[in-house]
Structure 1
């Protein structure tokens, strides 16, 4: 294994800046990752050399933009191991991807049908299913979370029955860092013939989005969690499901034929891609995936695991600090509370020292209620973080604790 973190950091221009006169220590990667120069360059190059609308233009720029745009779809297909490129649908990100599925689902559900999500879900993977069930008169159920921050698998199995039509769960918890057993959970859902969606916003960032191995029907993720730009993401779905799934948005591109009285929808993937797409975003997303995929993945994982282990050791030794979420299998996320202060105050004091973390409920209010906390302070690590970053975090926390006492 070979992993040179300093060489990695050198590719991220934002990591060279200062905040409040201090070197930036960026530990908010679960919210969004920073972008390497090659991704920034790819976006600039698109708008500088071939900006054009795609697919229907009869000129050189349109043809070049279309080729790059569709090549980006091929790269996403390979990254998630999708059987067919037509199964990759461009969206604005994970939230829109889930909404596309949810808006179709609400028209397919009937009273007596059941949908299962989890207590650890991000609001985007919770409220959507609540809403769909309310509109359809279906029953909404959730899998509880254990004290360790893991999904209760026995409870999950007890919820599954012949009325279960749809199951959704996160690949990785954005709050706790818990890696869920998505493959086995999918297999259990399939025993009752339920459709399965995996919220991959946090999972794809670690290269784990092998949709064929997982066996799910839908997988959703965003570019900005994996070193790409904001405002672009992808929804993957099985061809057999997508071909019959109700469309949500209508407009240009997704139309096959139109009369003044009726319309028919285009073939996959275009039937779900209404309007002018984010062409530059898709191209830059593909560049981010290419860049990430060329790294030594075993070395990346080892580095991130070492960061988490080091941070956990320091957290356990820090008086008054309580880690929220101690799953056996987790990624580099450290959510915590501090006896001396509200998470918002902690975040403010750390920011004054150049440390960027996230505070609040992290769009997971039911999970905050489960652990009986108003919110947490969350430090989340990525491949460009170092042990020095973690030392800086805990030095800043020590100073903050003194100021809050």
Structure 2
């Protein structure tokens, strides 16, 4: 099965061995085999910089934030709010007040569906694509069912790209209020043409949300350059901890939107009769937040920023090209999707071998991949599949590990034939 070559990047040398030394888990063994971790799209491993920052916070200065007047609380508040500045710079957001901390991308999208969705009227529409993760589908179904909006789905091509002609046609009647589309597919690796998507949507009077859960790991993200109105990502795929995600939204939209959750820290005043809300972004951050996890996210952003996305993108483009070439030599293996531009995710099937069996047997050889529908059941149906096996790459992945994967898949194929 033919494949398209990933986008090329200016070659920037990356010292992968030095990077791997910063990930203690990569020295572990699984079933007495060296760990080959090829499941970074599900959740990336954590470097010492992240682990140490979180441990240091808990050991030396932990306290609740925003409310305390003592030294510990003030220092921890400074560290926590400093991450808001880091994230704003990371996304090139116009203002730190446009950065809302959430638990993950799923919560961020639910926040938009609830709060921006409250501004929509029956007859208006939200437009998604066939390649969305459930996190960018189910919240819009829930909004449709409670608010009477229309939910439209833009098709993809057989190669796994967004069908841009069909996408544009779905916007033609001017009823779409919001386009919500992945910036990079977690199944196909497709990197969507975000700027073009946004330009077409805006010309039709629609706003745009990009789910950046996969894409922020691989490429520099500039929300202003993309023309986004909302952007979400999650910390645990960006070498940070679980339990922390980000919603970026334009200030004017956040000002209009009602709160998502009620409680402490999101209020200005409270009486038994009524409450008033805090200024953005705190209006959307009810209760004690994920303090330590947010500080860990800041450490992760610092860490990847020092390495640089030119180097990261070049390394992962080489890995992906190598994987497409090596996997194509495995008898009976078919790579799923041939998008024009793709990131470091490769899904595949093997004739006569179920993806779950592939993953189980690879695990016995110390190789971690993902198998299943990848929280994208409608996409699987579009592809005519029930599941795929998926290898995904990170900054610490080596070509030699991809070779081990390919060689082991050949042995698995021989076992079943």
Fold agreement, TM-score > 0.5: yes
Q: Which residue of 2 aligns with 1:72?
A: 83
1:180 has 2:196 as partner: no
Q: Which residue of 2 aligns with 1:110?
A: 121
For residues 189-228 of structure 1, give each alpha carbon's deviation from its aligned partner in whole angstroms, at most 9, with x where no partner exists: 1112212111010011123321111111110000111100
Q: Which residue of 2 aligns with 1:299?
A: 311
| Secondary structure, aligned partner of 1:235 | strand
Taking the aligned partners of 1:209 and 1:224, their CA distance within structure 2 comes to 17
Q: Which residue of 2 aligns with 1:334?
A: 346
Residue 366 of structure 1 is aligned with which of 378, 389, 402? Answer: 378
Taking the aligned partners of 2:349 and 2:117, their CA distance within structure 1 comes to 38
| Secondary structure, aligned partner of 2:233 | strand
Q: Which residue of 1 aligns with 2:24?
A: 13
Taking the aligned partners of 2:14 and 2:327, their CA distance within structure 1 comes to 25
1:274 has 2:286 as partner: yes
Q: Which residue of 2 aligns with 1:127?
A: 138
| Secondary structure, aligned partner of 1:349 | helix
| Secondary structure, aligned partner of 2:50 | helix
User: Is the Cα contact below 8 Å between 1:106 and 1:133 reproduced in 2?
Assistant: no
1:179-328 to 2 correspondence within 5 Å?
179-328=191-340
| Secondary structure, aligned partner of 1:243 | helix
Taking the aligned partners of 1:328 and 1:361, their CA distance within structure 2 comes to 22
1:76-95 to 2 correspondence within 5 Å?
76-95=87-106
Q: Which moved more, 1:150-159 or 1:308-317?
A: 308-317
Taking the aligned partners of 1:371 and 1:301, their CA distance within structure 2 comes to 28
Tell me by how many angstroms 1:58 deviates.
1.1
User: Is the Cα contact below 8 Å between 1:3 and 1:296 reproduced in 2?
Assistant: no
Taking the aligned partners of 1:299 and 1:242, their CA distance within structure 2 comes to 34
Unaligned runs of 5+ residues in structure 1 are none
User: Is the Cα contact below 8 Å between 1:2 and 1:296 reproduced in 2?
Assistant: no
Tell me by how many angstroms 1:387 deviates.
1.0
User: Is the Cα contact below 8 Å between 2:219 and 2:313 reproduced in 1?
Assistant: no
1:350 has 2:359 as partner: no
Taking the aligned partners of 2:220 and 2:176, their CA distance within structure 1 comes to 26
Q: Which residue of 1 aligns with 2:56?
A: 45
User: Is the Cα contact below 8 Å between 2:181 and 2:209 reproduced in 1?
Assistant: yes
Taking the aligned partners of 2:234 and 2:219, their CA distance within structure 1 comes to 13
Q: Aligned pairs, how many? A: 405
Taking the aligned partners of 2:176 and 2:71, their CA distance within structure 1 comes to 51
Q: Which residue of 2 aligns with 1:148?
A: 159
Unaligned runs of 5+ residues in structure 2 are 1-11
Residue 96 of structure 1 is aligned with which of 89, 107, 114? Answer: 107
Residue 137 of structure 1 is aligned with which of 135, 142, 148? Answer: 148
Q: Please report the TM-score for the alignment, with normalisation by the length of structure 1.
A: 0.99
Q: Which residue of 1 aligns with 2:388?
A: 376
Taking the aligned partners of 1:387 and 1:195, their CA distance within structure 2 comes to 40
Q: Which moved more, 1:315-324 or 1:9-18?
A: 315-324
Q: Please report the TM-score for the alignment, with normalisation by the length of structure 2.
A: 0.96
Residue 61 of structure 1 is aligned with which of 60, 68, 72? Answer: 72
Q: Which residue of 2 aligns with 1:165?
A: 177
Taking the aligned partners of 1:296 and 1:112, their CA distance within structure 2 comes to 45
For residues 322-356 of structure 1, give each alpha carbon's deviation from its aligned partner in whole angstroms, at most 9, with x where no partner exists: 11111110011110000021100100000000000
Taking the aligned partners of 1:69 and 1:138, their CA distance within structure 2 comes to 37
Q: In angstroms, what is the RMSD of aligned CA positions?
A: 0.9
Tell me by how many angstroms 1:125 deviates.
0.2
